[in-house]
Amino acid sequence: MVNEMIAVGLGEIKVSKNPDSTLVCFGLGSCVAVGIYDSINRIGGMAHVVLPDSSIGLAHGSPGKYADTAIPALIEQLKAAGARKSHMRVKIAGGAKMFASSPGLSNVLDVGTKNVAAVKKALASCGLRIAAEDCGGRAGRTFMLSLKDGVARVRTLGRSEIEL
């Protein structure tokens, strides 16, 4: 069976029950990818979080854009697909600081750190703990979650691929 790559774009949430698929967030910078996997029912989902808090922007569009709305929405979509919260394992990656000193991006210079903190807070509010993470730093990442076994991998330019 050919492994299906399911790309999760900016602000998107995707859930799959196909064990031969891999959910992928390509080229994460300050964004955070949240991957959740139910190993018993073999259902997985991923959110590509762009910003920490829906109250700081115009709270419209996809709930996947903001950490505080993306996490509950992802959990609900997983439950609707048949996953159980007690079986969910969470892995996250991203939240890098890509620009060092650009004044025009002053509002978001530290958005990566804020995204990671907001994702952790939202997960805690929903009663989920993080099993593994690769966050922060100055490098972009591609985050992949295999729905065959729940193994997550992180690819970074200039570094060997790591398993979470």
Partner 1 sequence: MTNGDVGLGEERERLMGRVVTAAMAKSTESLSKMTGANVSIESLKFGLVPISSAAQLAGGPDTPAAGVYLSVSGDITGHTLLLFPQSCALDLVDLLCERPKGTTEVLDCMGRSCLGEVGNITSTSFLIGLSEHTGLKLRPSPPEVVQDMVGAILSTILADLGLVSDEMFVIETEFADEHTSIAGVFLFVPMGDSLQTILSSLECHADGE
3-state secondary structure the chain: CCCEEEECCCCCEEEECCCCEEEEEEEECCCEEEEEEECCCCEEEEEEECECCHHHCCCCCCHHHEHHHHHHHHHHHHHHCCCCHHHEEEEEEECCCCCCCCHHHCCCCCHHHHHHHHHHHHHHHCCCCEEEEEECCCCCEEEEEECCCCCEEEEECCEEEEEC
Does residue 99 bind partner 1 (CB under 8 A)?
Answer: yes
Does residue 157 bind partner 1 (CB under 8 A)?
Answer: yes
Exactly one of 3, 9, 20, 163 binds partner 1 (CB under 8 A); which one?
Answer: 9
Q: How far is the CB of 86 from partner 1 (least distance, A)?
A: 32
Q: Looking only at residues 106 through 145 of this chain, which bind partner 1 when binding is defined by CB under 8 A? A: 107-108, 111-112, 139-142
Exactly one of 28, 92, 147, 152 binds partner 1 (CB under 8 A); which one?
Answer: 28
User: How many residues belong to the site for partner 1 (CB under 8 A)?
Assistant: 38
Q: Looking only at residues 35 through 94 of this chain, which bind partner 1 when binding is defined by CB under 8 A? A: 50-51, 56-58, 60-62, 65
Both tokens assigned to 164: 């979470």
Task: Tell me the catalytic residues.
Answer: 31
Q: Give me the residues that bind partner 1 (CB under 8 A), please.
A: 9-12, 26-31, 50-51, 56-58, 60-62, 65, 96, 98-105, 107-108, 111-112, 139-142, 155, 157
